[in-house]
Amino acid sequence: MRPGFVQSAERLERLPTDLTHWEIGPFHPAVPGPLKLRLTLDGEIIAKLSYETGFAFRALEKRFEMRPWRSGLPYADRLDPETAIFGQVAYCLAAESLMGLETPKRAQQVRAVLCELARISAHFRGFVQVAKSVAADTFMHYALRDREKILDLFELITGARFTLNFLRFGGVAQDVTEGFLERVADVCDLLRARMKEYNDLFSFNDAFLGRVCGTGIVTQEVAIKHGLTGPNARGAGLSLDVRKAHPYLVYGQTDFEVPLGRGEFGVTGDVHDRFLVRLREILQSIEIVKQVCESMADGPHQLLGPMDPLPTRAGEGFSRVESPRGLLACYVASDGGNGPARVQFVPPSVAALSALPELAQGACLEDLPVILASLDLSVAEVDR
Amino acid sequence: MTWQELWGKVLGFPTGTPEFILAAAVLLMIFVLCVFPAAAFLSLVDRKLSADVQARVGPNRAGRWGVFQPLADLMKLLQKEPARAAGWREGFWLGVLTVCLYSTAAALPLGSSLILVNTGSSPLLVFWVITALSVCLMFLGYNQNSVPGWFSGTRLAAQSLSGAFPALLSVLCVGLWAGGFEWTRIAAAQGADPAHWAIVRDPFLLLAFAVFMAGGLVVLSVPPLGSGFSLSDIKGGVASGFHGRKIAFFHLGRFYGLFLWSVIAVVCFCGAWNLPTSLSQAVENSDYGILGVKMIEPLVTIVKAAFLMLFTMLFARVMPALRSDQVTDFAWKVLSPIALVALLGTGLWTLWGGA
């Protein structure tokens, strides 16, 4: 044997050819935001995944503490810009419980309508991510087209399409504009019809089922271990919905169902279950919106005027709301001063992200974007 | 009338012009008059139709209804300068692409007078060149010098080879049925009337046609049977680092692969360039004569191929993409057995005089 060959063979033996290491991010089209993923690959199979966050840290909670109560409100929108209204609802409910404010029913109903519309919009955004991950361009455009209808409604009532900044302590900034409720009903009817189109085109498409059934399975044990909530937990069959368990706003007076994953085409808790749960939640949101719009109460939309002093006092307030991504909790503490002494959010994406290494382990590399999209993560609320 | 006589007369070359000069002129003409305009037109139609399907506006700025959009895109891409130096693998890809583009044009079966090479191995030459076009894309992935680049390149090569096998068996079915592999023989075995197309006259050839088209999606990596060309690199986009002139060449090569595949499908299964007898006689008796017939033949082939391509493109737009291992599984475990059945069936059908 030639000496050079021996040397090459020895070198080859010393080479760590069994596992490959690859870092993705923090800025990469496959990740949902500034997020770094460290992969150890065995061929195309993910042997290990770890993640690093903090690239979008904005000291958001500290900003609340540095400002008067009312000035902090727009920052609650920025907790997760995609589901902006939920940050404000959580913050307002927590602050109102601390201040002892009783919001008028009409304001609560407007808040509920906006929340459900935002839930539909956020789920559409989630569909876009899933469609992108499996290169389904047409469905992606359909979801974006329908999401625009919701954003139009936001613009009609708040003047903004994305970060609405529409809530105030003790109510909402404006009453609903003329014709708004009728237009909401029209959009709801349209979206209900579109759901069938989605199912025909995408939900039960064989190629899509081949990609998502049996992929990224969240078992009930995994969901409980990582504290998953929202569609990610409900996809695993866990019936946990804050709107039912701890009703807030007017959810206690509305009739709706909580869709759960049943493993209809694959395994309970797989990507397809999470997709279907979100799809069915849109139908439930439409139901809630219609019920609330039909029973819209007369009366004021705000308890306090913009210049009225807030009844601040020393103490603590706490709220939990069902955001499109799961349970969003907010804690506020006050020393009786002009602004909050402490504000803390517990967003659902933190738990979902913590489950990612377990879900990705053993999955094919090509499935990683699908799993990420199905978890519907918001890096903005993780880093906050 | 041989192609040398015909095209010497059409292009105005004097008698006795060396054959290689004539061949070069015809090749240039095929590209300038057939391939480039077809690429521009079909890319525009694809974009307009897919925009319509996807509830978008589509190109509407460059000229009325955006008709000059392909030209505008080409101009833009040609003006861009490369941001980084090309590696040797990229050069290899470009070399293979160029060789494939020119060499296949000689055997491109657009019409009876446009085939410069019409031997028993002509279909196989074109066929394997298409496969080479796909496999050489592996080098583009490797050129990225990264983990996803290596994955994407290897995935594409594996997909191409897995799809090429059943597609090759489908072409063998046609040769078996027609009694030879010359383009003219395959065309002569069929007629202009759809009732005389190969897919109607032999049920096993319909099966072979389905396998050939599905195999084409795999070889050319068209969704739902592959999508590894220009996606984000985690999913295997060999062209994810491409831009400018190279992306123009890349898209041309990709279009040419699909065009070639569709032309082969038309010639082998869908009546080739045959014109209805009444039409060909009417043209032949007119002032245009036999030259007129020879000019219409490529048009018939291109129009049929365009329909196949548009159908494929629209299908690709609405379908999600499978994972690469699912694609190779499908090609080896589903398409290949079906192709073998089609080959066996065609053999028996031909043996017992079914054709």
Q: Which residues contact A138 (CB under 8 A, 6 or more apart)?
A: A201, B50, B53, B54, B317, B318
Question: What residues in B contact A139, CB-CB < 8 Å?
Answer: 318, 320
Q: From residue B81, how far is each of A263, B74, B96, B243, B321 by CA, in Å?
A: 51, 13, 22, 9, 32
The helix (run of H) or strand (run of E) holding residue A210 is: helix A206-212
In contact, A34 and A55? CB cutoff 8 Å: yes
Q: Which amino acid is at A239?
A: S
A142 to B54: CB separation less than 8 angstroms, yes or no: yes
Q: Which of B54, B223, B324 sits opposite A141 (nearest CB)?
A: B54
What is chain A's mean pLDDT, rounded? 87
For residue A118, what pLDDT band results from cuts at 50, 70 and 90? very high
B55 to A141: CB separation less than 8 angstroms, yes or no: yes
Burial class (CB in 10 A: 0-12, 13-18, 19+), A275: buried
Least confident among A86-95, A112-121, A180-189, B247-256 = B247-256
Here the tokens at position A214 are 């049996």
In contact, A374 and A75? CB cutoff 8 Å: no
For residue B157, what pLDDT band results from cuts at 50, 70 and 90? confident
DSSP tag of A297? P
User: Chain A closest CA to B304's CA: distance in Å?
Assistant: 26
In chain A, the percentage of residues whose pLDDT exceeds 70 is: 96
Cβ pairs bridging A and B (under 8 Å) = 76
Question: Packing angle between helix B69-79 and helix B36-53, nearest 10 degrees?
Answer: 110
pLDDT of B163 over the 80 cut: yes
In angstroms, rounded to a whole number, what is the distance separating the alpha carbons of residues B107 and B132? 15
Question: What residues in B contact A203, CB-CB < 8 Å?
Answer: none
B232 to A30: CB separation less than 8 angstroms, yes or no: yes
Query: CA nearest A370: which of A242, A271, A291, A298?
Result: A271
Mutate to test the interface with B, among A137, A142, A146 (most CBs of B within 10 A): A137
β-bridge pairing A342-346 and A326-335:
antiparallel
How confident is the model over B338-354, as pLDDT tens digits? 999 999 999 888 888 75
Residue B340: the pLDDT is 94
My answer on whether omega of the bond before A26 falls inside 30° of 0, hence cis, is yes
> How many Cα atoms sit within 13 Å of A342 on the Cβ side?
9
What mean pLDDT do residues A193-203 have? 85
What mean pLDDT do residues B305-323 have? 85
What mean pLDDT do residues A340-366 have? 90
Least confident among A69-83, A242-256, B3-17 = B3-17
Q: What phi, psi does B166 have (nearest 5°)?
A: -65, -35
Residue B53: the pLDDT is 85
Residue A17: the pLDDT is 62
Here the tokens at position B62 are 């460059």
Here the tokens at position A379 are 């890096």
Residue A2: the pLDDT is 44
β-bridge pairing A36-42 and A342-346:
unpaired
Residue B1: the pLDDT is 63
Query: CA nearest A269: which of A221, A325, A323, A202?
Result: A221
pLDDT of B142 over the 90 cut: no
What is chain B's mean pLDDT, rounded? 81
In chain B, the percentage of residues whose pLDDT exceeds 90 is: 8
Query: Taking CA atoms, what residue in A is nearest to B148?
Result: A22
What mean pLDDT do residues B307-322 have? 85
Least confident among A52-66, A267-281, A292-306, A345-359 = A292-306
pLDDT of A148 over the 70 cut: yes
Q: How far is CA A130 from the centre of its chain?
A: 14
A210 to B322: CB separation less than 8 angstroms, yes or no: yes
ipTM: 0.78
A142 to B322: CB separation less than 8 angstroms, yes or no: no
- What single string gives the DSSP state of each residue in A92-138? HHHHHHHHT----HHHHHHHHHHHHHHHHHHHHHHHHHHHHHTT-HH
Here the tokens at position B27 are 């090749």
Interface residues of chain B, partner chain A, Cβ below 8 Å: 50, 53-56, 147-148, 151, 223-224, 227, 231-232, 234-236, 317-326
Measured in residues, chain B has a length of 355
pTM to 2 decimal places: 0.84
Q: Which of B226-235, B253-262, B263-272 has the highest mean pLDDT?
A: B263-272
B323 to A41: CB separation less than 8 angstroms, yes or no: no
Question: What residues in B contact A366, CB-CB < 8 Å?
Answer: 234-236, 323-324
User: Chain A closest CA to B300's CA: distance in Å?
Assistant: 31
Least confident among A17-31, A140-154, A344-358, B174-188 = A17-31
In contact, B294 and B275? CB cutoff 8 Å: no
In contact, B66 and B48? CB cutoff 8 Å: yes
Residue A93: the pLDDT is 92
pLDDT of B145 over the 60 cut: yes
In contact, B33 and B110? CB cutoff 8 Å: no
DSSP tag of A345? E
Any idea which residue has 């020879």 for tokens?
B294
For residue A11, what pLDDT band results from cuts at 50, 70 and 90? low
User: Chain A closest CA to B326's CA: distance in Å?
Assistant: 8
Query: Taking CA atoms, what residue in B is nearest to A31?
Result: B234
> How many Cα atoms sit within 13 Å of A296 on the Cβ side?
18
For residue A163, what pLDDT band results from cuts at 50, 70 and 90? confident
User: Chain B closest CA to A255's CA: distance in Å?
Assistant: 34
DSSP tag of A83? G
Residue A4: the pLDDT is 44
What mean pLDDT do residues A57-71 have? 89
Here the tokens at position A272 are 């397809």
Query: CA nearest B92: which of B131, B31, B130, B141?
Result: B141
Q: Name the β-bridge partners of A334.
A: A315
B234 to A368: CB separation less than 8 angstroms, yes or no: yes
